[in-house]
């Protein structure tokens, strides 16, 4: 398998390089090193992006959770092709990822939902994500309402609260260098193999 020389280190698998940079970011980045920009395409082919939190990743993909009735959830249902972007200013590095979204199984999502703090579980019930909110008080009242319905302890997962996995087919690693001579390395999956090439900055 072909390997790429990146700062005198050799990487055949982009997940290995991602994991290394992610560990660096967790040390240096002050807030939410797992924050990633998620870009989707609407039914009318209009792009939309927002920041979501990466909850875990494996060789099979990048996992996050959301309300499937939200704007991004509806876009994903119509077009599962998405893009992710991690930018860690503290370490001057960026990773761009393209891939296809699949929904996690109910068992997987239930297991993760149980690990969330009580207030976050209640928050998931309280929000009609992406719908119009007339007043802040309306949201606060819904939070109080569901807090009364579900006392401290086991809170069931809302049926619309789901997990997604982005299975990558392209990575682009960007590292800032002097005089704008940045490092750019692309991994593209072709026939289950990663094709690697360097790009001009």
Nearest-angstrom CA–CA distance, 19 and 23: 6
Q: How far apart are CA 195 and CA 42, in angstroms?
A: 30
Judge whether 86 and 67 are in contact, CB under 8 Å.
no
Instruction: Kindly list the distances between the CA atom of residue 109 and the CA atoms of 21, 44, 65, 162, in Å, as whole numbers in the listed order.
Output: 27, 30, 8, 6
Task: Give 67's strand partners.
Answer: 161
Cα distances from 58 to residues 16, 95, 174, in angstroms, run: 10, 16, 21
Segments of 31-158 assigned E as strands? 35-41, 47-53, 56-58, 61-67, 81-88, 93-103
Which sequence positions are flagged as catalytic?
180
**Alpha-carbon gap, residue 74 to 82, rounded angstroms:** 13
């Amino acid at each position: 398998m072909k390997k790429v020389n990146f700062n005198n280190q050799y990487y055949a698998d982009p997940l290995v390089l991602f994991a290394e940079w992610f560990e660096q970011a967790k040390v240096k980045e002050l807030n939410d090193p797992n924050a990633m920009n998620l870009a989707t395409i609407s039914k009318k082919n209009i792009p939309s992006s927002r920041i979501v939190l990466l909850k875990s990743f494996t060789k099979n993909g990048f996992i996050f959770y959301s309300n499937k009735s939200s704007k991004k959830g509806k876009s994903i249902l119509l077009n599962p092709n998405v893009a992710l972007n991690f930018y860690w200013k503290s370490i001057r590095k960026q990773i761009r990822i393209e891939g296809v979204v699949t929904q996690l199984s109910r068992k997987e999502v239930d297991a993760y939902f149980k690990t969330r703090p009580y207030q976050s579980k209640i928050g998931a019930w309280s929000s009609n994500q992406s719908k119009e909110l007339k007043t802040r008080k309306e949201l606060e009242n819904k939070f109080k309402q569901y807090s009364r319905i579900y006392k401290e302890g086991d809170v069931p997962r809302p049926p619309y609260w789901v997990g997604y996995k982005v299975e990558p087919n392209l990575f682009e690693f960007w590292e800032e260098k002097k005089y704008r001579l940045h490092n750019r390395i692309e991994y593209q999956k072709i026939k289950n193999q990663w094709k690697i090439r360097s790009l001009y900055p």
